[in-house]
Amino acid sequence: MEEYVKILRKNGIKVTPQRLEILRFLDTHHTHPTADDIYNELKKKNPALSKTTVYNTIQSLKEHGLLISLAFSAHESRFDSVINNHHHLLCSECGNVIDIDIECPFTKRKAMGGHRIDEVHGYFRGVCKDCLGGK
Amino acid sequence: MEEYVKILRKNGIKVTPQRLEILRFLDTHHTHPTADDIYNELKKKNPALSKTTVYNTIQSLKEHGLLISLAFSAHESRFDSVINNHHHLLCSECGNVIDIDIECPFTKRKAMGGHRIDEVHGYFRGVCKDCLGGK
DNA sequence: CCACCAATTTGTAATCAGTACAATTTGGGA
DNA sequence: TCCCAAATTGTACTGATTACAAATTGGTGG
């Protein structure tokens, strides 16, 4: 049985072709795509795909902890299927989001100052190595 | 001369009543307001205030490093006039944003893995002390 | 103190990511 | 294979933010 079918079953998510394709895309493209990126890419193979389905599936995967959403800007969300903790850099030159693997002392904390901590997101803004080098 | 006039002059921002009010509001209300919060509050004193002016001023203050924007969710930005580095917790119960003062080893780093770092944002999602206590 | 002009403010209209909803389709258990 | 709750689709809607053009204004030079 395909790997992604197992993942969905294990999480009690009904298996559909749309969900499999979205999960596969997120798992094989760690480019931090927007919902629109996912929609446009998968529409090539399945022209009947609805944007609502993309949003519904993202919501479902998020609720089961299979993806996280990155909220760098106020007018679009980006998504990442990875669950291992890493931080993100938004390059102000090229607009790409780059993974930053650092040892953050807070990612494993479950409480802080009396508050319960469920998620830790580290966002950096700056200029990525490639854009710096090109100057 | 009023403190806020000095701040604007020092940054080469033309002084207007609207800008003074917005700067004063941000400096005296560290409640992480949205643009709409600012607009609705200041509209009480100046009914002619335009929402566009609020956005323009926010943009201008941001460019001069007088405020930072927090992008917790994809459909609204929140603003904070503070420049001293601290992180933020979004409480999933009450929706408030709470300042988290922790010693983060990355806030002073200017480079990382070859990338230039301009801003460091730490976002936590969880449940705040008050909401936990109420259970 | 006044006149002027570039910058600012205002209000309306447009944009665009995301959501609501109702009709159609479908996965998968009985 | 049948059936129905759940999923998908497409369209309409929402709400934060931006674009734009006309009216207003801060503040510098005279």
Q: Which residues are within 8 A (CB) of A75 and not within 5 positions of it... i.e. 6 or more apart?
A: B74
Give the pLDDT confidence of B12-33 residue by residue, as tens digits. 999 999 999 999 999 999 999 9
Pairing of strands A111-112, A97-100: unpaired
Distance from C-alpha of A129 to C-alpha of B115, rounded to nearest angstrom:
4
Q: How far apart are the first and last CA of chain A?
A: 49
Q: Does residue A96 sit in helix, strand or coil?
A: coil
* B contact test, residue of A124, A127, A135 with most B CBs within 10 A: A124
**pLDDT(B1) > 60:** no
**pLDDT(B83) > 70:** no
Residue A1: the pLDDT is: 58
A89 touching B (Cβ < 8 Å): yes
pLDDT tens digits, chain A, 135 residues: what are they? 588 999 999 999 999 999 999 999 999 998 999 999 999 999 999 999 999 999 999 999 999 989 988 987 767 889 888 667 789 999 988 889 999 988 888 988 889 999 999 989 999 989 999 999 854
Q: What is the mean pLDDT of chain B?
A: 90
B10 touching A (Cβ < 8 Å): no
| Banded pLDDT at B55 (limits 50, 70, 90) | very high
Residue B73: the pLDDT is: 75
